[in-house]
Structure 1
Amino acid sequence: MRALKTVTRTQGNNLALKDGSVTPRGFSFEFEEVPVLVDAFRRMVREQEFDVSELAFTTYLCAKAHGKPITALPIFLARGFHHGAIVHSGASAAAGLEGRRVGVNRGYTVTTGVWARGILADHYGVDLDKVTWVLSGDEHVAEYRPPANVVPMAPGGDLATMVATGELAAAIGVTGPGLVPLVPDAGEVAFEALRRDGLYPINHLVVVRDELAGLAAEVFAAFAEAKRRYVERLPGIADPTPTDLMYRRVSEVTDPLPYGIAPNRAMIDLLIDHAVRQRILDRRPAVEDLFAPDTLDLTA
């Protein structure tokens, strides 16, 4: 039986795959543990080091645009709310970011940053082109070149400190003493956006090396069964993580972890819109071209 070298974070919806209680048909997953998951993302897009890999959605969009031989499956492993990802020292406001410098943890194409900038543009009217985005790291897709208003942080800098001292007006994806969400009551605002607009951002999906796309339906089925078991036991988890608690609350409104293109079409389209408007993508890809053909009609 073929063993597929696989990397994915150990979390509720993948646990049954990791402990072996759910297994795919015709092959097996050979899991490699990568302590810092974003390191696996870089290895996957640069070297296609794994057969099956969890990957940030925008990293995949960027990788696909640059011809990387990987194909996505509509298995959306991680979701999140990003109103609270934008932090400041208490002296800024969203409307006051234009003409100023705003930090971004790691690269410009990091999915949390893409969603957070989209929220600033769509819900608070920020002209993203009038902000200078200051990066603390590099891009997963080495060939990508960001727009001119994206600059690297000076060597030895620290985004949290730069926000605290006023050198940066705000930052995305950082924490530190005295830093608070730029959006007041960010958690409640995010859940209201879910209830009102269906805004439920996708962060991570699953990709395979192109030559393994023929196994896509079976990979999907295994991940879907693991997810089903997790959602079934979610209300009774005795020691829930913060992610468990988030999914519990989401389940009061909608499926906390829908897999498949159809139930996620609005969020897929919106993330692509953000990527085009933020000049991560030069052109808009067809959604059906992003996913393995055998998975286009699958849902779970």
Structure 2
Amino acid sequence: MRHLTAALRGYPHTAPLFDGTLRLDGCRLDQADVDPIHEAFAPMVRHQRYDVSELALATLLQAVEADVPVAALPVVMVGNFPHRSLYTFGGDPRPAPAGLRGGRVGVRAYSQTTGLWARGVLADTYGVPSGEVTWVTTEGPHVTGAREPGNVERTTGSLVEALRAGDLSAVVLGAPFAARVDGLVPLIEDWETRQEQYWADHGFVPANHLVVVRRDLLRSDPGVVRALYRGLAAGIDAARPDAPTGSVRERAVRYGLDDTLLAMVGAAVRHAREQGIVRRDIAPAELFADFEKYAGGS
């Protein structure tokens, strides 16, 4: 029985793989003690510390560009619409998304995937290209050597406090964190309507985290990676409710190399190119080429 170190959160769709409800052929997963999960990303792309890991999509694109020896599986662990990820403090007048042009916006890292999708919405929907905003960050990219555009700044201070002081126009935050800060409100007031329109227009929920494995593991033992993929797929199926509710999580979490996944990755690549996160065009299928070649596809 082969043991795989796994930097995967305990989602409803992964919990059965860790508690033994779902068994993998020839291997078992040993859950790495990493919280929050984004702290696994740098060790994975810099040192391949885990056999299998979640990885943010923007970081994965930078890893592909840098030929980091990891291989993606066509499995989306978590995703969300970005329309509720831009926050400001409520008041009058309230900033409008188009008013961010020429302003300063805080985000943990410029290569953070939530920020990538939020900047895509600002550009596509509100006519605010990422290059016309100064992005104030507290962290650099996970991939060693990845470059940042000239309109990215670093700070050691709190982004929320900078927003409170008026030094920022908005910040990019996850809804659970924003809910802990009194007075924060979504910058896009009709975010619920906007995200459902995005779904109607595109047919996918933007992915935040996919699953990757060490490339040498995939090439030396493709059977164990195939078993891992099948187990992840079974976990996703088992977590789906008998009667679909249409929740964002149900629509976001998915497996299988299909046109929808490739379209979603293609949109991320376009945003990443426009925003200077990656410098070369990356074909969406390139992310999964090793998985297709060595593990026999999805």
TM-score (norm 1): 0.88
Q: 1:3 — aligned with what?
A: 3
Residue among 270, 280, 296 paired with 2:267? 270
Structure 1 residue 3: Cα displacement: 0.8
Q: 2:184 — aligned with what?
A: 179
Q: 1:260 — aligned with what?
A: 256
Q: Output the amino acid matched with 1:135.
A: T
Q: Secondary structure at the match of 1:126?
A: coil
Q: Secondary structure at the match of 1:12?
A: coil
User: Is the contact between residue 164 and residue 178 of structure 1 (CA under 8 Å) also seen in structure 2?
Assistant: no
Q: 1:45 — aligned with what?
A: 45
Structure 1 residue 10: Cα displacement: 0.3
Structure 1 residue 33: Cα displacement: 2.4
Runs of 4+ in structure 1 off by over 6 angstroms are none
Q: Secondary structure at the match of 1:72?
A: strand
- 1:69-108 correspondence to structure 2 within 5 Å: 69-90=69-90, 91-104=94-107, 106-108=108-110
Runs (5+) with no aligned partner, structure 2: none
User: Is the contact between residue 114 and residue 208 of structure 2 (CA under 8 Å) also seen in structure 1?
Assistant: yes
| Cα deviation 1:260-289 (Å, max 9, x = unaligned) | 221312111101111111111111122222
Residue among 145, 148, 151 paired with 2:147? 145
| Structure-2 separation of matches of 1:36 and 1:250 | 21
Q: Output the amino acid matched with 1:161.
A: E
Q: 2:209 — aligned with what?
A: 204
User: Is the contact between residue 261 and residue 296 of structure 1 (CA under 8 Å) also seen in structure 2?
Assistant: no
Q: Are positions 1:231 and 2:233 aligned together?
A: no
| Cα deviation 1:167-200 (Å, max 9, x = unaligned) | 1111111633322111013133212321343241
User: Is the contact between residue 163 and residue 171 of structure 2 (CA under 8 Å) also seen in structure 1?
Assistant: yes
| Structure-2 separation of matches of 1:266 and 1:74 | 13
Q: Are positions 1:23 and 2:23 aligned together?
A: yes
Q: 2:225 — aligned with what?
A: 216
| Structure-1 separation of matches of 2:70 and 2:247 | 34
Q: Provide closer, same or farther for how the CA distance between residues 6 and 186 of structure 1 changes in structure 2, counting only shifts above 3 A.
A: same
Q: 1:239 — aligned with what?
A: none
What's the RMSD between the two structures over aligned residues? 2.0
Q: Output the amino acid matched with 1:249.
A: S
Q: Secondary structure at the match of 1:58?
A: helix
| Structure-2 separation of matches of 1:279 and 1:163 | 25
Structure 1 residue 218: Cα displacement: 1.9
| Cα deviation 1:117-169 (Å, max 9, x = unaligned) | 1011111111211111000222211311100001102x3x2111211221111
| Structure-2 separation of matches of 1:182 and 1:255 | 24
Structure 1 residue 39: Cα displacement: 1.0
| Structure-1 separation of matches of 2:7 and 2:25 | 18
User: Is the contact between residue 234 and residue 248 of structure 1 (CA under 8 Å) also seen in structure 2?
Assistant: no
Q: Provide closer, same or farther for how the CA distance between residues 296 and 129 of structure 1 changes in structure 2, counting only shifts above 3 A.
A: farther
